Amino acid sequence: MTRRRTKDLGPSWTAPGEKATLLGVLDHLRESIIGKVDGVPEPQIRAGGVPSGTNLLGLIKHLTYVERFYFLSEPIENLRATMRPARNETAEDLLTRYRETTALVNAVVDACPDLGGPAPKVPGRGLAPTMRWALTHMIEETARHAGHADIIREQLDGLTGR
């Protein structure tokens, strides 16, 4: 499936169908958060921008785990730990894993013939959600954390915008 982008306006306004529209929005949000993390040096990339300690690198790690949970059926042992990068986890490594994960997730979604059908079964839960629900939830999750990344990045070096 081809997902066209308009640089200034985000995902294509004329995507051919619901799946292309949802994936286009999700891809746009993914690129937005990667852009907020890209180029931030150590130790600022790990610096907590708010009292909870939320940081740019932790947001990437967390989103990777959440995508793998909902679309690749991988369990999350400790949700809180997904927000904390380990000392040996580099920005390059975590960004690479995020990009690899999103490519795998996109392939799972592309192979789904009907968004009303089930997404992969979520570990530890009952019935699998529909693919439509999983995509919508991932858009919400990524958008929320992209907003967090916007605020943290602005606090670090004044960078604003997408």
**What number of other Cβ atoms are within 10 A of residue 33's Cβ?**
23
pLDDT number for residue 161 = 66
Q: Are 9 and 126 in contact (CB under 8 A)?
A: no
Q: Are 68 and 60 in contact (CB under 8 A)?
A: no
pTM equals 0.90
Please report whether residue 147 resides in a domain: yes
Helix (H) or strand (E) holding 102: helix 91-111
The low-confidence residues of the chain, meaning pLDDT below 70, are 1-15, 161-162
pLDDT number for residue 158 = 86
Please report whether residue 11 resides in a domain: no
pLDDT number for residue 4 = 39
Alpha carbons within 13 A on the beta-carbon side of 105: 29
Instruction: Find tokens 């982008």 and name the residue.
Output: 5
SS3 118: strand
Tell me which residue range forms the domain holding 119.
43-157
Please report whether residue 16 resides in a domain: no
pLDDT number for residue 12 = 65
Angle at 133 between CA 97 and CA 78, to 5 degrees: 45
pLDDT number for residue 5 = 39
Q: Rounded to an integer, what distance in angstroms lies between the CA atom of residue 143 and that of residue 32? A: 9
Please report whether residue 3 resides in a domain: no
pLDDT number for residue 49 = 80
Please report whether residue 84 resides in a domain: yes
User: Structurally, how many domains does the chain consist of?
Assistant: 1
Angle at 59 between CA 10 and CA 8, to 5 degrees: 15
pLDDT number for residue 123 = 83
Please report whether residue 63 resides in a domain: yes
Alpha carbons within 13 A on the beta-carbon side of 114: 3
SS3 81: helix
Among residues 162, 28, 161, the alpha carbon closest in space to that of 102 is found at: 28
